[in-house]
Amino acid sequence: MDPFTVMNELRISAPLFEKLQLHLFPGDGDEHGAVICAGMSETDRGLRLFAREIVLARDGVDYVPGQYGYRALTPEFVARVSNHCARQGLCYFAVHCHGGDDFVRFSDVDLESHQRGYPALLDITDGGPIGALVFAHNAVAGEIWRPRKVSKLTKLTVIGVNHRRLYPEPVQPTRGFADVYHRQSLLFGAVGQEELRKAKIGIIGLGGVGSLINEWLARLGVGAIVAVDFDRIEPSNRSRVVDSLRSDCRDWLLESKIPLLQGVGRRLARYKVHIAERVARRANPNIDFFPIVGNVVDEKVAKSLRDIDYLFLCADTMQSRLVFNALVHQYLIPGVQIGAKVTSDVDIGDVTDVFSVARLVLPYQTGGCLLCNQLIDSAKLQEEALSPEERRQQRYVNDPGVHAPSVITLNALGSAQAANDFMMGYLGLFDTQEAKIGYRMHDALSRTWRSADCADTMNCLHCGTSDRSILARGDRASLPCRNV
Ligand SMILES: [Zn+2]
Ligand SMILES: [Zn+2]
């Protein structure tokens, strides 16, 4: 399977998947049924479905001996749940289980029942997509119905501390890998190396933090990177941005005594995403690199990240945190926010705190939602939404973000934790008994690592499940972007 083969994918959070598995495989070896209500999104990479709710069919009440097959969902159950999906703008997917472990397919009776029932269901749900999934313990097959088009599910991705991927049958790596990956593949195998090659990863911010992540992902053998940053390099960034050169800053112009030429130099300096592209291509000439000169706060830019597999937030504005958190929850894309901060006592001038942080955010309650953990400050959000002129009037001139201390070694600590969490989780290598989700913070003054558990608030509009939340809605909700 090539990375950009068009795929039909269902994404589901680990807690929801566990709920489904317990219902389908309680240990009685019998067939059980349920419905997944899902959001959706369609891009060049294919159709993505996002499990938002699971409605379990009660044995003997909603899931009964069938007229044609062994068991079937009752017409009442189908009507109730499909109407719910239609009202909520969600896609209806009937689920049942077969025996077996690594291989699964629909029976002829299953396929005939789709033919009988799904044209009407497409009408009820305004064109779907709708369909069905059949599970074995470690495999899934699916049929996706849209008007005039029936297609197959390619894979199911479970997003938790570890990622898990289920297919109709075991997938073998389609090709070997280059010698450069030999040593790391001793840890995660040819299958892991292939997963990295097929991965498309987003990085928001290619400055001090993002440029490190970018180099490491490219060297790991990640197949595609989408890099978002609107900034050009300047001399004061060069102590932190990987492989940034004096010539990228147009130093011969900046060093001119003529102010006009200095201005030209600043305007011609290389964009940070283009420096990142050069770094990534040197590390891996086969990489697909998508540099985007833009701000993730703009909807068009944010939407270009909706088909990625993992997201690194390496820019520290409240607006970018808000959009990042929405992308994670709305499109079930796991992510991590990385930062480093130095605070000092203004009166005595002493440094009071020096820390680096990696905040893993998984798309479910208690998964690390930045909104639930009070990490998206609404006062600062409003402040950032002001124009430069308005900000000057309101005396935000000394924006601490602009002249705050920033050091490559501090950036490296949070970045390394985040990149390693990606590698371990994405390839399913964590010891799930021991590895807990939560934020990791390094205090440089005391030389200690600390963990912070994550809170969740009732009815959160991102990670919650109330009717108003954006969780797993995909394209059927809007992102909190500014209109341009
Ligand atoms: Zn069946
Ligand atoms: Zn939340």
Q: What is the CATH number of the domain that holds 289?
A: 3.40.50.720
Full residue range of the structural domain in which residue 329 is found: 184-231+271-452
Smallest-distance ligand from the CA of 96: 1
Can you tell me the distance from the alpha carbon of 67 to that of 70, in angstroms, rounded to the nearest whole number? 8
CATH of the domain at 14: 3.40.140.10
384 and 334 belong to one structural domain: yes
Distance 308 CA to ligand 2 centre (A): 21
pLDDT reported for residue 473: 98
Distance 343 CA to ligand 2 centre (A): 27
Distance 73 CA to ligand 1 centre (A): 12
Helix or strand or coil: residue 82? helix
H or E element that contains 39: strand 33-43
| 152-161 confidence digits (pLDDT tens) | 999 999 999 9
Distance 410 CA to ligand 1 centre (A): 54
Distance 203 CA to ligand 2 centre (A): 22
Q: Is 221 left (phi over 0), alpha (psi -120 to 50) or beta?
A: left
Smallest-distance ligand from the CA of 136: 1
Closest CA relative to residue 338, chosen from 372, 375, 388: 375
Smallest-distance ligand from the CA of 328: 2
Neighbours of ion ligand 1 (CB under 5 A): 107, 110
C-alpha dihedral sign at 200, 201, 205, 211: negative
Closest CA relative to residue 93, chosen from 164, 157, 168, 143: 143
Distance 386 CA to ligand 2 centre (A): 25
276 and 141 belong to one structural domain: no
195 and 116 belong to one structural domain: no
| 68-108 confidence digits (pLDDT tens) | 889 999 999 999 999 999 999 999 999 999 989 999 999 99
82 and 209 belong to one structural domain: no
Q: Which residues of the chain have pLDDT under 70?
A: 1-4, 391-403, 483-484
pTM of the entire predicted model: 0.95
Smallest-distance ligand from the CA of 95: 1
Q: In what order do the strands lie in the sheet with 351-361?
A: 288-292, 224-228, 200-204, 310-313, 335-344, 351-361, 439-443, 448-452
pLDDT reported for residue 126: 84
What do you get for the CA distance between the two ends of the chain, in Å? 38
Distance 405 CA to ligand 2 centre (A): 30
Distance 454 CA to ligand 2 centre (A): 10
DSSP annotation of 470 reads -
Query: CA triplet 477, 8, 99: central angle to 5 degrees?
Result: 115
Distance 133 CA to ligand 1 centre (A): 9
286 and 161 belong to one structural domain: no
| 35-60 confidence digits (pLDDT tens) | 999 999 999 999 999 999 999 999 99
Distance 378 CA to ligand 2 centre (A): 14
Whether 259 is in a domain gets the answer: no
Which tokens in the block code for residue 287?
A: 């990489």
Neighbours of ion ligand 2 (CB under 5 A): 369, 371-372, 460, 462-463
Smallest-distance ligand from the CA of 105: 1
pLDDT reported for residue 300: 97
Smallest-distance ligand from the CA of 375: 2
Whether 237 is in a domain gets the answer: no
Distance 31 CA to ligand 1 centre (A): 8
138 and 196 belong to one structural domain: no
84 and 195 belong to one structural domain: no
Smallest-distance ligand from the CA of 106: 1
108 and 224 belong to one structural domain: no
State the total domains in the chain.
Answer: 2
Distance 36 CA to ligand 1 centre (A): 16
Smallest-distance ligand from the CA of 112: 1
Whether 257 is in a domain gets the answer: no
106 and 189 belong to one structural domain: no
Distance 324 CA to ligand 2 centre (A): 12
Whether 260 is in a domain gets the answer: no
Whether 96 is in a domain gets the answer: yes
Q: At what angle do helices 210-220 and 272-283 cross, to 10 degrees?
A: 20
pLDDT reported for residue 346: 78
Closest CA relative to residue 462, chosen from 372, 379, 378: 372
Q: In what order do the strands lie in the sheet with 46-56?
A: 149-152, 139-146, 130-136, 91-97, 33-43, 46-56, 7-13, 155-159, 163-166
Whether 347 is in a domain gets the answer: yes
Can you tell me the distance from the alpha carbon of 353 to that of 332, in angstroms, rounded to the nearest whole number? 34
Distance 336 CA to ligand 1 centre (A): 39
How many other C-beta atoms lie within 10 A of the C-beta of residue 388? 9
350 and 419 belong to one structural domain: yes
138 and 202 belong to one structural domain: no
pLDDT reported for residue 450: 93
218 and 319 belong to one structural domain: yes
Distance 377 CA to ligand 2 centre (A): 14
Whether 391 is in a domain gets the answer: yes
Q: What is the DSSP pairing of strand 130-136 with strand 91-97? A: parallel
